[in-house]
Chains A and B, each alone.
Chain A
Amino acid sequence: MDFALEVNKLCKAYKDTAFKLQNVSFNIPKGSIVGFVGKNGAGKSTTINAVLNILHKDSGEVAFFGKAMTDDAKYIRNDIGVVFDTVHFSGELTPKKLERVMKDIYENWDGALFLAYLERFHIPADKKIKTFSRGMTMKLSISSALSHKAKLLILDEATAGLDPVVREEILDLLLEFVENEENSILMSSHISSDLEKVADYIIFIDNGKIILSEKKDTLIYEYGIARMKQSDFDTLDKSEYLSARKRGLQLEVLIENKKQFTRAHPDIVTDNATIDEILPMLTKEESK
């Protein structure tokens, strides 16, 4: 059992819209950080909610640490820490009161650790949560998720809207977390630079389908974007690239292996590809 999470052919359709998750499958190896990337409305949050059983899935299997996830399997959720993008605690509570609530719910709740995080982040323990700034509520949510000996953290756009200083603090925490090989993280984010810093794997989702699943290092060091004129583009074989699109008079082409491509076409300019560049290239199909 080397995976923290295995998702197999997850399907979920919404009755009122055309949107549906189609056969979403991916795994999270233990000890890794997996980034989840996609346009707004691509299905990131739906996938996460379906995996956590907040939304009922239509079909497919979800297993955490090898055990199937159902509403009754509540003991599994002792090992899962979740952070959503909006504050998910009642605003009337103070962190101290929250601590007492959590103590009664989580089996492995570590109150001392939680209070230590509060101190580390300068979060006032006796003020009502509704008075907190966004950064403070996020830090509170993450502190809570880290204080019950969770082995898998799931973050849904948790760093959105945070200033770079706070984001770096949080990323450092996440890296600390996976220093223990038993711990893993799944994080969906629009902030590609965060993922480029900490993720081991990146999964791209669009329109309810997984379109690419790759190691981050491969994406950064091997993938590339070649820019060329139409005449050069016409000389390419379809197998040489993943997708292409027009940018003014130029054509941009996404390639899997920069070195190979440059050997075959030494005159064409190729650049490194960032996640921000790869995503639109995978999601907007140019007629080839």
Chain B
Amino acid sequence: MKGLIRNDFYNVEGSMKLTMLAFIIIMIVLGIAGIYFPPNSYLASAVIGGTLGAFGALSGTAMQKDGASKWSRFELTMPISRSDVMKARYISFILYILIGLVMAIISALYFMR
């Protein structure tokens, strides 16, 4: 089952790097803007929510790529059961949300400065 999660990860690696990059850029931009304009909590929660959503969406991307390549059919021929597939999806999803959460906390701390 570890292999399934790994496959999932490789699938979204590209998208994840893009998301991280976008996140960093937005942080820098907001940081610069914050020097001139006082940051308000409304904007902050929007950014935090958006971050969580973006990372969670990675899971959707992974499933889409799986569907496109018939991996979801092939994986059933391997020594894994359907419940393994389900578990791996959930675990991946939780992992991505956690990463998003960490990013969001970082941005929150950043704002509090």
Interface set of A (CB-CB < 8 Å, partner B): 52-54, 71-72, 74-78, 80, 82, 84, 86-93, 97, 100-107, 154
Contacts and interface: CB of A to CB of B under 8 A. Distances in A.
Nearest to B71: A90
A105 B4 CA distance: 8
Interface string B50-93: 00000000000000011011110110111111101000000000
B14 interface: yes
B65 A92 contact: yes
Given A86-B70, A87-B70, A104-B1, 9 more contacts: A71-B82, A77-B79, A89-B74, A91-B69, A92-B65, A93-B11, A97-B10, A100-B6, A104-B2
A82 B79 contact: no
A89 B12 CA distance: 14
B3 interface: yes
Task: Across the A-B interface, give the 4 residue pairs with the lowest CB-CB distance, nearest first.
Answer: A104-B3, A105-B3, A88-B74, A82-B77
Contacts of A86: 70
A92 B76 contact: no
A72 B81 contact: yes
Report whether over half of chain B's contact residues are helix, strand or loop; otherwise say mixed. helix
A88 B71 contact: yes
Which range contains the number of B residues in contact with the other chain? 20 to 34
Contacts of B76: 52-54
B7 interface: yes
Given A52-B77, A74-B81, A84-B74, A91 B65 contact: yes
Contacts of B11: 90, 92-93
A92 B45 CA distance: 33
A89 B13 CA distance: 15
A74 B80 contact: yes
